Amino acid sequence: MERLWAPWRMEYIKAPKKMGECIFCTKPRDKDDEKNLILMRGKLAFVIMNLYPYNPGHLMVAPYRHVGEFEKMREGELLEVLRYVRRSMNVLKEVMNPHGFNIGVNQGKIAGAGIVDHVHIHVVPRWSGDTNFMPVIFDTKVVVEEINRTYAKLRDQLTSKIKK
């Protein structure tokens, strides 16, 4: 993951962070899913796009409950979270045609977690040569347009009735 070159991650580092704010709690509480890049909502878990992606189509799946550790998730949460990971992978394959995926949890600051106290699984589609490709879309404006376009496509597929 570290080899991926994602310059807009700098924006994330520079963005002022409100004290005690957890985006995995505040964003689902808000009703504007499009603004918050929430792709899909379930009973216990939801799918959200990463605003500071490692790659286009970088998603995160999290339980609604503010729980910091993967192993503290309840059975129902675990099942729904993993089902959404699977569904996200199927949809990403359909929409973006990746060559592979990185799926993972960064738990604890030492492991590189940006948000340490609300567990979330990263789903990152990978393409051969993507580490070389990323500098081409260095422009933040282009990245935001790209995210919005991808959001619409992924949301349509994720929320479609067809079983994935």
Residues that bind Zn ion (CB under 5 A): 22, 24-25, 66, 118
The H or E element that residue 149 is part of is helix 140-158
Q: 119 vs 143, which CB is nearer to Zn ion?
A: 119
Instruction: Report the C-alpha gap between 135 and 110 in whole angstroms.
Output: 27
Annotated catalytic residue: which of 66, 99, 120, 122? 120
C-alpha closest to that of 61 among 37, 45, 42, 77: 45
Instruction: Report the C-alpha gap between 104 and 107 in whole angstroms.
Output: 9
CA within 13 Å, CB half, 111: 11
Q: 107 vs 131, which CB is nearer to Zn ion?
A: 107
Least distance (Å) between residue 24 CB and Zn ion: 4
Q: 25 vs 105, which CB is nearer to Zn ion?
A: 25
Q: Burial letters for 88-100: b for 16+ Cβ neighbours within 10 Å, e otherwise?
A: bbebbeebeebee
Least distance (Å) between residue 25 CB and Zn ion: 3
Q: 3 vs 43, which CB is nearer to Zn ion?
A: 43
Residue 120 annotated among the catalytic residues of the structure: yes
* Torsions phi, psi for 7 (to 5 deg): -60, -30
C-alpha closest to that of 23 among 93, 109, 115: 115
Least distance (Å) between residue 112 CB and Zn ion: 18
Instruction: Report the C-alpha gap between 154 and 164 in whole angstroms.
Output: 13
Least distance (Å) between residue 137 CB and Zn ion: 30
Residues identified as active-site: 120
